[in-house]
Amino acid sequence: MIGAGYAATRFGYFKEIHVDGLMQFTQGFAIPCLLFLAISNLDLSASFDPRLLGSFYGAAGLCFAAGLFGARIIFGRDWEDSVAIGFCCLFSNSVLLGLPITERAYGPENLTGNYAIIAIHSPFCYGLGITVMEVVRNRGRGGMQTVRSVLSAMFKNALILGIALGFAVNLSGIVIPSVLDDALRMITLAALPAALFALGGVLVKYRPEGDLRTILYVCAISLLIHPSLVWMFGSASDLPQDIFRSGIITAAMAPGVNSYVFANMYGRAKRVAASSVLIGTAGSILTVWMWLTLLG
């Protein structure tokens, strides 16, 4: 899908204005609908092992810090760019890659850990990313101004709203009318393919020249450091084998398309984000094979 979007844009069949419009559709409408529908129908009573979530998100938070401070100290990026780069290290592709690879390797009965991670993946990552970005953007303006900016950014974000509404519907037991449910399902079918196709078009504009070292740094953290930390934390907390494997494989995924969505939302480090998704996904062919071999 990324390749198709790249080719269509590279050869002029899809214009830059079309790419921008498609990204706006996916970022502001289709993906929020996807998240809303997924969370509203999620079985929240499923196994949410705190050891798994602590291992995965503790490691993810450390990778975010490594990306942020590495971009600032090693590569000399400004703070806003550094936050966006840190987000690329934080947001692994848990749905498009993590679910099918885990299912293919271990069977559908071993996806409980994947779903537990996915249930809070976007709220955690966007909550952390938006909070740090708004703190950085509002530095020097006082504590209350920063808090207002964080809350405003969170509740103006269509993705966060979709997630919040999904939890509200799930917890309240409200039944979505069938006509609305059918419409939402039709929209969500387009969300991920359209986002990947648009990302391919974005890559025509944001090539990795000048940022290759930063992109490789992001890929190393995403594909190697994150799963290594989850392995260490999961082993220390004696995770059961099925959810231990789910945590490792999900952590070993390349940066997800939401890495670019976040960068595009703030207009920061867009070339790094777009290229990290592409190069990281290609590199994961080898690294995921390695992790699957180690897990046995």
In angstroms, how far apart are the furthest CA atoms of the chain?
54
> Model-level pTM greater than 0.85?
no
Q: What pLDDT digit, counting tens, does each position of 175-218 carry?
A: 899 999 999 999 988 887 888 888 788 778 766 667 899 999 99
Instruction: Please state the φ and ψ torsions of residue 92, each to the nearest 5 degrees.
Output: -85, 155
How many domains does the chain fold into? 1
Cross-strand bridge partners of residue 92? 255
Give every CB contact of residue 192 below 8 A, 6+ residues apart in sequence.
Answer: 31, 34, 95, 96, 257
Domain that holds residue 177: 2-295
Nearest to 225 by CA among 97, 59, 57: 59
Decide: helix, strand or coil at residue 43: coil
Give the separation between CA 256 and CA 273, rounded to whole angstroms: 9
Decide: helix, strand or coil at residue 92: strand
**pLDDT for res 252:** 97
Distances (CA, A) of 72 to 51, 108, 120, 204, 277: 31, 41, 28, 26, 20
For position 270, which CATH number holds? 1.20.1530.20
Q: What is the dihedral of CA 259, 260, 262, 263, to 10 degrees?
A: 120
Which DSSP category does 255 fall into?
B
Give every CB contact of residue 215 below 8 A, 6+ residues apart in sequence.
Answer: 208, 272, 275, 276, 279
**pLDDT for res 80:** 95
CB crowding 123-141: b at 16 or more within 10 Å, else e: bbbbbbbbbbbbbebbeee
Averaged pLDDT for residues 50-65: 96
Give the separation between CA 187 and CA 197, rounded to whole angstroms: 16
Cross-strand bridge partners of residue 255? 92
Which DSSP category does 109 fall into?
G
Q: Report yes or no: 237 and 54 within 8 Å, Cβ to Cβ.
A: yes
Whether pLDDT at 153 is above 70: no
Q: What pLDDT digit, counting tens, does each position of 207-266 carry?
A: 666 789 999 999 999 999 999 999 999 999 999 999 999 999 999 999 988 898 889 888
